[in-house]
Amino acid sequence: MRNEELRIGIFDSGLGGLTVVKALSQVIKGAELFYIADTKNAPYGEKTTEEILDFSLKITQYFIDTHQITALIVACNTATSAAIKTLRETYPKLIVIGTEPGIKPAIEKTKSGNIGVLATPATLKGDKYKELANNLSAGKDIVLYEQACPGLVEQIENGEIKSQKTKSMLEKWLNPMKENNVDTIVLGCTHYPLVADIIEEIMERKIEIIQTGHAIAKRLLVLSQEEGHSNSGPLNIYLYATDNIDTLSVYNILNTASPIKFISI
């Protein structure tokens, strides 16, 4: 990338990856950022590994062919688990950064040793997550309370963040964590920071919420500067979706009035 512009491709199945875009906008300068919300195939968390890998490869090739990206961010825990190894092997010249549940910082933060993990069914079933959880918690006085959250991504995508149905779903999942003195909760999906306030309200105590957007932004900064990126100048963000998306939520997440461009991949 030396002497070339940093051109970032970032994708998720919908709104969730915008929490990573927001974190990137606070750290990365002098770059072009292209975000795809693959709403046509959402939610990834309930698709097969083979389907998710296919989506990921097609989107990455689109980024390369159309936008000549130099860095790829998989802003989805589920897609990272399914595709990150293949993406790195297929595109060795790209900076490729995935998204993993923040179990390591959660272990560093917890005082009770009781950690909640909220994630999609596909993430919790994936070998990558299981290996990460087992390796990091081995030999430590740590208990992971893992909870799959089917349907939560759809609620967020539909703009139902503050609805009673969403709150009821979260209460059902969080009450066992509350009863077991969980003091740290890992948000194992990039959509979930959008309901962080509701999670804190339900838990009724001061808890640590672990999300990964800022860690991804810092990692990209380090890797891009190693390749000669000066990190100065404006960051231009272009937003795309493969199907309908709740544009009001997009504007609220990013605090932007930029138009959404609908494309087909």
Q: How many C-alpha atoms does 191 have within 13 Å on its Cβ side?
A: 28
In a domain, 233, yes or no: yes
218 and 140 co-located in one domain: no
Q: In terms of domains, do 126 and 146 share one?
A: yes
Domain contains 13: yes
One domain for residues 237 and 206: no
Residue 94 within any structural domain of the chain: yes
Q: State the Cα–Cα distance between residues 133 and 201, nearest whole angstrom.
A: 27
Q: Do 162 and 236 sit in the same domain of this protein?
A: no
Across the chain, mean pLDDT equals 92
Q: Does residue 116 sit in the same domain as residue 198?
A: yes
What band does 260 get if pLDDT is binned at 50, 70 and 90? low
Residue 156: closest CA among 17, 255, 258:
17
Q: Are residues 46 and 140 in the same domain?
A: no
pLDDT over 70 at 264, yes or no: no
Q: How confident is the model at residue 259 (pLDDT cuts 50, 70, 90)?
A: low
Name the band, by pLDDT with cuts 50, 70 and 90, for residue 1.
Answer: very low
pLDDT interval class at 3 (50, 70, 90): very low
The answer to whether 123 touches 189, Cβ cutoff 8 Å, is yes
Instruction: Tell me the mean pLDDT in the region 48-56.
Output: 95
The arithmetic mean of pLDDT across residues 57-84, rounded, is 96
Task: Specify if 227 maps to a domain.
Answer: yes
Alpha-carbon distance 118 to 121, whole Å?
A: 9
Q: Are residues 39 and 124 in the same domain?
A: no
Q: Is 149 a catalytic residue?
A: no
Helix (H, G, I), strand (E, B) or coil at 144: strand
Q: How confident is the model at residue 60, as a pLDDT?
A: 98
From the candidates 189, 237, 239, 250, which is the catalytic residue? 189
The range of the structural domain enclosing residue 15 comes to 6-99+213-262
Residue 258 pLDDT > 60, yes or no? no
Together in a domain, 199 and 242: no
Tokens at residue 119, please?
């994630």
What is the pLDDT averaged over residues 133-150? 95
Q: Is residue 251 part of a domain?
A: yes
Q: Which of 210, 235, 251 is the last residue of a domain?
A: 210
Mean pLDDT of 122-144: 91
* 168/205 same-domain check: yes
235: CB partners within 8 A, 6+ apart: 24, 25, 28, 29, 30, 31, 33
Please state, as a whole number, how many other Cβ atoms lie within 10 Å of the Cβ of residue 180: 12
User: For the segment 187-213, what is each residue's pLDDT rounded down to a tens digit?
Assistant: 999 999 999 999 999 999 889 999 999
Task: For the chain, give the percent of residues with pLDDT over 70.
Answer: 95
pLDDT computed for residue 2 by the predictor: 47
Q: In whole angstroms, what is the distance from residue 185 CA to residue 187 CA?
A: 6
My answer on whether 107 and 143 are in the same domain is yes
Q: Are residues 115 and 150 in the same domain?
A: yes
Mean pLDDT of 70-97: 96
Catalytic residue among 15, 74, 76, 203: 76
DSSP state of 185: E
User: Using CA atoms, how far apart are residues 236 and 256, in angstroms rounded to an integer?
Assistant: 12
* Domain stops at, among 181, 210, 239: 210
Mean pLDDT of 95-99: 97
Lowest mean pLDDT among 23-32, 227-236, 253-262: 253-262
pLDDT mean over 74-86: 94
For residues 221 and 32, give the distance between their C-alpha atoms in angstroms, rounded to a whole number: 14
Q: Do 84 and 17 share a structural domain?
A: yes
Alpha carbon dihedral 217, 218, 220, 222, in 10-degree steps, equals 160
pLDDT value at residue 262 = 60
181 belongs to a structural domain: yes
Q: Please report, rounded to a whole number, the percentage of residues in the chain having pLDDT higher than 90.
A: 79
Domain membership flag for residue 1: no
Per the confidence metrics, is the pTM higher than 0.85? yes
Residues 17, 23: Cα–Cα separation, whole Å: 10
pLDDT band at residue 46, thresholds of 50, 70 and 90? confident
Here the tokens at position 9 are 């491709």
CATH code of the domain in which 93 resides: 3.40.50.1860
In a domain, 73, yes or no: yes
Number of domains into which the chain is organized: 2
Backbone torsions φ then ψ of 261, nearest 5 degrees: -105, 125
